[in-house]
């Protein structure tokens, strides 16, 4: 995560050093990618839901485009949190510490969403204001990860 303020908040709340928190965030991000591949969604309690959506391939203007997967973020209140279990599994934090970690992280992201501030999360993507609307764009690494099954398929030119 590029925002040191978030790392500082997490370190202070959990009583951990910045390097450990940074490593935990990296483990969380890699686990998020794994979870999206395996389950197609992961929710952050009180913040929203990341989902992988399948977009069918198709024929346009004499070319056939292969299918792709897109990562979509829905900013809405979510009751459950598969993210807590993920951070527990990846870092070895206790259930209480993992819940606190996710609470601080989702609170930080929620504050940025409310303020419409641009926020870049390394390995996941960026939350930005586009035409007055807050949007999520997955970064290249995450896009490639969820599109492994289709990455080798080329666009075919079917024109004579």
Q: pLDDT tens digits for the chain (160 residues)?
A: 456 888 888 899 889 999 999 899 888 888 888 888 888 888 877 667 889 999 898 988 889 999 999 998 887 666 666 788 888 999 999 999 888 888 888 888 778 777 877 888 778 888 887 887 778 888 888 888 888 878 788 888 888 6
Angle (CA) 52 45 108, round 5°:
100
CA distance readout (Å), 42 to 31, 48, 60, 73: 10, 9, 33, 10
pLDDT at 1: 47
| Residue 118 burial (CB count, 10 A) | 11
Q: Determine the pLDDT at residue 154.
A: 85
Phi and psi at residue 76, in whole multiples of 5°? -155, 165
Give the total residue count for the chain: 160
Q: What is the pTM of this model?
A: 0.73
pLDDT at 78: 62
The CA distances from residue 99 to 17, 103, 139, 148, in Å, are: 18, 6, 26, 31
Q: Cα(40)–Cα(32) distance, rounded to whole angstroms?
A: 10
């Amino acid at each position: 995560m590029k925002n040191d303020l978030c790392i500082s908040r997490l370190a202070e709340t959990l009583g951990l050093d910045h390097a450990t928190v940074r490593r935990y965030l990296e483990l969380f991000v890699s686990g998020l990618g794994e979870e999206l591949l395996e389950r197609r969604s992961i929710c952050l309690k009180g913040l929203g839901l990341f989902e992988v959506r399948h977009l069918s391939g198709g024929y346009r203007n004499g070319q056939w485009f292969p299918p792709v997967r897109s990562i979509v973020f829905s900013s809405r209140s979510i009751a459950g949190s598969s993210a807590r279990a993920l951070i527990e599994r990846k870092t070895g934090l206790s259930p209480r510490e993992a819940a606190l970690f996710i609470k601080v992280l989702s609170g930080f992201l929620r504050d940025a969403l409310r303020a419409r501030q641009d926020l870049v999360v390394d390995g996941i993507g960026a939350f930005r204001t586009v035409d007055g609307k807050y949007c999520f764009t997955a970064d290249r690494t995450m896009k490639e990860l969820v599109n492994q099954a289709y990455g080798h398929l080329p666009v075919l030119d079917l024109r004579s």
